[in-house]
Amino acid sequence: MNMLGHKNIKNTLIYTQLVKFESDKYICKVAKTPKEISELIEAGFEYVCEQDGLKFFRKRK
């Protein structure tokens, strides 16, 4: 909110609703080791969840 210079969250919400992404398709990757995790983060992937000791990441196509 501060990055946009807005004092009121309602103004920020207007702009975030105007953003249209070309697709909601993602590239999905799974990491087990700290090295794999750091490589995915450096490649622009975002953490989604963890299951059975595996960490799942995604990045918009």
> Per-residue pLDDT tens for 11-26?
776 766 666 666 678 9
The lowest-confidence range among 15-19, 34-38, 51-55 is: 15-19
**pLDDT for res 24:** 78
Indicate the pTM of the whole model. Answer: 0.63
Q: Is the pLDDT of residue 1 over 50?
A: no
Can you say how many angstroms the Cα of residue 14 is from the centroid of all Cα atoms in its chain? Answer: 20
Q: Is the pLDDT of residue 32 over 60?
A: yes
Higher pLDDT, 58 or 15: 58
Residue 19 makes CB contacts below 8 A (sequence gap 6+) with none
Q: Give the angle 4-44-22 at the CA atoms, nearest 5°.
A: 65
